[in-house]
């Protein structure tokens, strides 16, 4: 989720939202607008693209009003502002107007870094809106959505939702909202499966689960479905790699250890420890080694080393499924 600076007053004169995650950027703007309208229902909101902030426009928008009205001025993609407009913004930062909140949305890269540095130097309230590229971050996001809504969802349900929906934060947020609106009580993985069965069955992690369980036919069916619905081959192979590595990690862990202790040691949630324990029953050390080699070969195949990524994944799935029966 978006991280905020120590100064968390949305009505501070300057808010800087940095990153490229559109949902988080929009939420940063919405939070400021909501706070401003709570303070003054007649707040005037101006939401501008870079080409709409011409030289002199900011001075016009922030000039004193006879009615002393509150304003929120939002500038999107501020890294794309012209040099003259950047000068105007930097000048304004030195003496911000009362009753006006300026919100700058910035991608956070090298482009427009001078404006980014100037805003930070001026003491901007900063909200980090970076892309969530790690599954763990998206899982934390889903947990946060349910927590914010005051609802309880099991760890398995949160993971199932991420597996089913994928990396699109807007779709994840929408799915959480739908479940909260429709379901009473605790949301579990059976409920998620009922709502998102088709997508869940096409997920990369379903392919991996069936493969490491030795269920080759089901894994291949899930793989073809996933490919037909647009799941990226590299994501599928990443899930296969995670599944095999989890088997290897747990196999080498001390026997008799409690799930909570193993979870901390191996970096897995306790519920996943239980799932992997069930999946690893037919595995041997040689099987894990064979499966890891298959994943490495598939990785090369889906990243340009082969002509047919789907064939590379099919071969890996079959090899992994056989390895799961190697004991």
Do residues 48 and 74 lie in contact, with contact meaning Cβ atoms separated by under 8 Å?
yes
Q: Is residue 8 part of a domain?
A: no
Q: Is 185 helix (H, G, I), strand (E, B) or coil?
A: coil
pLDDT in tens, the chain (327 residues): 444 444 688 999 999 999 999 999 999 999 999 999 999 998 999 999 999 999 999 999 988 765 667 899 999 999 999 999 999 999 999 999 888 999 999 999 899 999 999 999 999 999 999 988 888 899 999 999 999 999 999 999 998 888 888 778 888 999 999 999 999 999 998 899 888 866 655 578 889 999 999 999 999 988 988 888 777 888 899 889 989 998 998 888 777 666 667 777 777 777 677 788 888 888 999 999 999 999 999 999 888 766 789 999 999 999 999 999 877
Do residues 125 and 14 lie in contact, with contact meaning Cβ atoms separated by under 8 Å?
yes
Q: Is residue 2 part of a domain?
A: no
* Helices 233-251 and 216-228, axial angle in degrees (round to 10): 150
Structure tokens at 62: 């922030």
Do residues 97 and 82 lie in contact, with contact meaning Cβ atoms separated by under 8 Å?
no
The helix (run of H) or strand (run of E) holding residue 308 is none
Q: Is residue 3 part of a domain?
A: no
| CA pair distance 17, 169, nearest whole angstrom | 17
174 plus 268 within the same structural domain: no
Residue carrying the six token digits 């799941």: 231
**How many Cβ atoms are within 10 Å of 149's Cβ, its own excluded?**
14
253 plus 189 within the same structural domain: no
Residues in the chain: 327
Do residues 172 and 146 lie in contact, with contact meaning Cβ atoms separated by under 8 Å?
no
DSSP for 51-93 reads GG--TTHHHHHTS--TT---EEEEETTGGG--HHHHHHHHHHH
Q: How many domains does the chain have?
A: 3
Instruction: Find the CATH number of the domain harbouring 60.
Output: 3.40.50.300
22 plus 125 within the same structural domain: yes
Q: Is 139 helix (H, G, I), strand (E, B) or coil?
A: helix
Provide the β-strand partners of residue 125.
15
Host domain of residue 167: 135-197
212 plus 314 within the same structural domain: yes
For the whole model, what pTM was predicted?
Answer: 0.63
Instruction: Find the CATH number of the domain harbouring 178.
Output: 1.10.8
26 plus 95 within the same structural domain: yes
């Amino acid at each position: 989720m978006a991280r905020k600076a120590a100064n968390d007053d949305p009505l501070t004169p300057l808010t800087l939202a940095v990153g490229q995650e559109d949902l988080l950027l929009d939420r940063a703007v919405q939070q400021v607008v909501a706070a401003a309208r709570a303070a003054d229902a007649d707040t005037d909101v101006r939401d501008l693209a870079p080409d709409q902030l011409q030289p002199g426009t900011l001075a016009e928008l922030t000039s004193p009003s006879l009615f002393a009205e509150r304003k929120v001025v939002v500038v999107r993609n501020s890294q794309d502002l012209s040099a003259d407009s950047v000068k105007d913004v930097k000048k304004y930062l030195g003496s911000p107007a009362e009753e006006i909140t300026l919100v700058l949305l910035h991608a956070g890269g090298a482009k427009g870094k001078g404006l980014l540095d100037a805003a930070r130097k001026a003491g901007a309230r900063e909200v980090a809106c970076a892309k969530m590229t790690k599954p763990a971050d998206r899982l934390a996001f889903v947990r946060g959505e349910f927590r914010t809504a005051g609802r309880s969802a099991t760890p398995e349900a949160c993971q199932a939702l991420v597996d089913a929906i994928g990396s699109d934060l807007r779709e994840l947020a929408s799915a959480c909202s739908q479940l909260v609106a429709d379901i009473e009580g605790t949301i579990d993985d059976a409920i998620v499966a009922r709502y998102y069965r088709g997508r869940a069955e096409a997920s990369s992690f379903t392919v991996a689960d069936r493969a490491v369980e030795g269920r080759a036919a089901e894994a291949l069916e899930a793989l073809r479905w996933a490919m037909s619905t647009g799941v990226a081959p590299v994501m599928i192979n990443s899930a296969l790699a995670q599944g095999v590595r989890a088997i290897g990690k747990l196999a080498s862990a001390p026997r008799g250890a409690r799930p909570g202790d193993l979870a901390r040691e191996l970096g897995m949630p306790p519920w996943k420890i239980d799932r992997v324990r069930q999946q690893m029953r037919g595995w041997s050390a040689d099987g894990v080694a064979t499966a890891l080699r298959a994943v490495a070969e598939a990785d090369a195949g889906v990243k340009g080393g082969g002509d047919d990524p789907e064939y590379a994944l099919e071969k890996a799935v079959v090899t992994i499924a056989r390895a799961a029966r190697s004991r």
